[in-house]
Amino acid sequence: MLYKDKYNDWLTSSVIDEKMKDELRQIKDETEIEDRFYKDLEFGTGGLRGVIGAGSNRMNIYTVSKATQGFANYLNGRFENPAVAIAYDSRNMSKEFSKAAALTLCANNVKVYLYEDLRPTPMLSFAVRHLDCIGGIVVTASHNPKEYNGYKVYDEFGGQVTDEKANIIITEVNKINNFDMIKTISEEEAIEKNLLVYIGEAVDKAYIDAVKSLAIRKELVEAKAKDLKVIYTPIHGSGNMPVRRVLKELGYTGVSVVKEQEMPDGNFPTASYPNPEEPAVFKLALEMAKEENPDVIFATDPDCDRIGVVVKDSEGEYRVLTGNQTGLLLTQYILDALKEEKRLPDNGVVIKTIVTTDGAKKIAESYNIEIMEVLTGFKYIGEKIQGFKENNNKTYLFGFEESYGYLAGDFVRDKDAVIASMLIAEMTLYYKEKGKSLYDGLIDLYEKYGYFKEALVSFELKGKEGAEKIANCIDSLRNEKLVEINGVKVNTKYDYKLRIEEDIESGEKKDINLPKSNVLKFILDNGSWFVVRPSGTEPKMKAYIAVQGTGLNDSGEKLESFKEEVVKLINEKLN
């Protein structure tokens, strides 16, 4: 169907409300109309993610209800008496979308456990298993700008659905080709039939207690937690309650919150891009730090699954740590603390993604701990955790990705900034007792394991034309034989779409034992590498770049030089 036909169908539909029709009538730009209707908002392997607004290619009550009807059909076709847990964050329309999803499920005789108020994504992951549900939904766009919202689907194990299940659900969603196929009932009827139940304090407490159980050096925390000074900002998101509650109950009384960013607000008035990867979100916290002189500053994103950290260096200057740096520190800290406590298992595993720092390999190897790599996306780490449980052959210790996501413990199957905040506080306290900052600890790691340095470059290309350019760029890199960059030979190419690892010089090929994904990775003779992939959540192509040097300056210079060449290469393909 042509986009203009879809546009007219929405204007004449008896299902679409007048407010949404008015929004469409007011659009005068034909390109804008095309962008809203040239395709349906895709239900991908992670669910929905898009700009809020009217149209088939937008996040609204109708696209959410369509996705939910498909999910309901999937559940009812495969499970008896299925139940689903639903959570939502502080974004605009999150509550409305979660209620619409709940009532569509209830209309399909699927029982729903719905949080009464906003909660972090990891608390939903916990609730799925705690309440014996078959699935879960989180309404969030994570760290995207305020214009966005999203919808993530979870399986019975509390992890985001991975490829096989996702493809079955996608097939069911795609069968919903008109609004008359979508069911709904009133909230009153759903409650009366015991199909809609609101989640209360008991589940919150169970989650908080589980998080606290992950404290490793418990005696240190009990004795010294009160001495640690922390500044925390939830960036107008869902982390405020659980993060502060966990820290308070463990005895961290010196926690200050950034007042201007404390309350939930989907417009994110103090952070246009509410992403802890962005140093700008720490501006207000750093102003507070001038007076309070904290040992550590951290920020969580709107759905509280990512965390960013700021620490002082040896000269008293505040440094925003990268996701890789925080991950290295946590990997070392957890393995070292477990070894000290004589709780480091022989079959322990650390998991990282293919775009995450290789420094983690060096650390794990030094403790004789296995390290695994998975595709980008924490759902693949969650999938591994479940596999370990089913096979009873490995013990999950820690997993992380460069994009500020971390997880210890196995009662949550997604990245968890509540758990991470607790472990970062404990780790900071440990270094403080040694007379060091976290930054000192990082330099110690670099000295011991090597100066690993990484960067991420995003190429934003909006709309239909942008999506085509991204696809063409990756295909060009896939099909061209790239033999060197800036005089350094490329020795290995990993094509995760074709699932082939290729030795560039010999042409020898091996199979990659990972799911298919439109991702390419090139490794050079000097150990540098870069990865390109389309973003699954934004109109961007991402390039991940990594080097190893002999010191801070050397690795920094190598990174800038290599990044310049990679960006030049990609821009040539995009233009």
Q: How far, in Å, CA of 254 to CA of 428, rounded?
A: 13
Tally: H helices and E strands in the chain: 19, 23
Residue of 86, 138, 87 lying closest to 112 (CA atoms): 86
Residue of 81, 74, 88 lying closest to 172 (CA atoms): 74
* Residue 142 known to be catalytic: yes
What distance lies between CA 517 and its chain's CA centroid?
17
How is residue 500 annotated by DSSP? E
Q: Is 96 exposed, middle or buried (0-12, 13-18, 19+ CB in 10 A)?
A: middle
Residue whose pair of structure tokens reads 């995207």 in the numeric block: 144
DSSP 4-51: HHHHHHHHH-SSS-HHHHHHHHT---HHHHHHHHSSPPP-BTTBEEEE
The 10 Å Cβ neighbour count of residue 210 is: 16
User: Given 142, 238, 421, 555, which residue is catalytic?
Assistant: 142
Q: How far, in Å, CA of 432 to CA of 438, rounded?
A: 8
How is residue 525 annotated by DSSP? T
Nearest-Å Rg of the Cα atoms of the chain is 24
- Under 8 Å between Cβ of 204 and 198: no
CA distances for 464 relative to 87, 247, 311, 409, 443, angstroms: 31, 46, 42, 41, 45
Catalytic residues: 142
